[in-house]
Structure 1
Amino acid sequence: MAMRRIPSALRPRRLPLGSPLQILLLVCSFAVAGYAGVQLLANDWFGVALWFVGAALLHDLVLLPLYSVADRAVIRGLGSAGRRTWTPYVRVPAVLSGLLLLVWFPLISGMVADHYRSGTGLSPDVFLGRWLLITAVLFGGSALLLLLRLRRATKLRPPADH
């Protein structure tokens, strides 16, 4: 009697599980995240939930359109298709600078200057200057890296025959 082969679409599929170490790490990360969530929500669950909803709405309704428009402006500003490879040299320092601004905004803007001074005894006046300096270094380093890569690319290109 000949055995019929079961079509591959009808065969039960194996679950794509990783190694036991990967599964253990995943379970541990879920346990730590669950513990952090329970601790976070224990005191003021409504405030935390309101913060998450507000952050999601702020991101989706305000920040996403803003940085999408800025990214389109960079792409259009760089012009031809050959220069579109330059966009990461603008995107990366802009994103890093934006993240620093987002994290340190209360101190950069001076909104919590008195609270910071009374809590640490240090002057909060340096944060704006340092953020601007870090932003300048990020964009300057990115421009330097772009120039080095363009220089290397022109050295590797054979001269055109006329």
Structure 2
Amino acid sequence: MLARFARCYGSGPGHLLLMLAGFAFVVSVVATMKPTSLWNPNSWWQSIAVWFVVAVIAHDLIAFPVYALADRILARSTRRIAPAGLSPINYVRLPAMAAALIFLVFLPGIIEQGGPAYEAATGQTQEPFLARWLWLTASFFAVSAVAYGVRVLLVRRRGAG
């Protein structure tokens, strides 16, 4: 019965339940907020709905092809240099994704957008945001490089022993 369901649906019943729960959550959020709160009639470009559509289009048409191409180039280039059975690709993917996510979350601070409001609220400037993001990114890649180095040493010791 489950195999037949999976063949028709394309995945298991757990996936269907999770998707239905996600859609129910979105409907409940929109119903609670009211659709009018997603639209700003005074300046349409500041509407949440417009920003959401632009973000989806920008991701699907610009960002996804760029990082898919970068990932494919990384995967091809690491095949030649990696020890047998130990690809470094996930040791590059993880810190890159973490750095990109943190960059997106803190982008207004990094580009110092809303500086006067931030300074009025906190008493601090946004000047250190870029340096802190760069240090955090460097530390992500450093920790990942150390983890990969340890993994390579363990693989080599098992092979020699």
Q: TM-score, normalised by structure 1?
A: 0.72
Q: Which has the larger displacement, 36-45 or 114-123?
A: 36-45
1:30–1:59 CA distance, 2 compared to 1 (3 A): closer
Task: Tell me which residue corresponds to 2:133.
Answer: 131
Task: Tell me which residue corresponds to 1:3.
Answer: none
List runs of 5+ in structure 2 lacking aligned partners: 5-11, 41-46
For 2:125 and 2:28, locate their aligned partners in 1 and report how far apart those are by CA, in whole Å. 36
Structure 1 contact 40–48 (Cα < 8 Å) conserved = no
Q: Deviations for 1:45-64, whole angstroms, at most 9, x for unmatched residues? A: 36222122111110011101
CA RMSD of aligned residues (A): 2.9
1:105–1:31 CA distance, 2 compared to 1 (3 A): same
Task: Tell me which residue corresponds to 2:64.
Answer: 64
- Identity among equivalent positions (%) equals 31
Structure 1 residue 45 corresponds to structure 2 residue 39: yes
For 1:134 and 1:150, locate their aligned partners in 2 and report how far apart those are by CA, in whole Å. 24
Structure 2 contact 78–87 (Cα < 8 Å) conserved = no
Candidates 90, 93, 98, aligned match of 2:92? 90
Give the deviation of 1:29 after TM superposition: 6.6
For 1:40 and 1:92, locate their aligned partners in 2 and report how far apart those are by CA, in whole Å. 37
Task: Tell me which residue corresponds to 1:74.
Answer: 74
Which of the pair is proportionally richer in helix?
2
1:40–1:77 CA distance, 2 compared to 1 (3 A): farther
Structure 2 contact 79–87 (Cα < 8 Å) conserved = no
Q: 1:155 is paired with a residue of what secondary structure?
A: helix
List runs of 5+ in structure 1 lacking aligned partners: 1-8, 10-15
1:158–1:126 CA distance, 2 compared to 1 (3 A): same
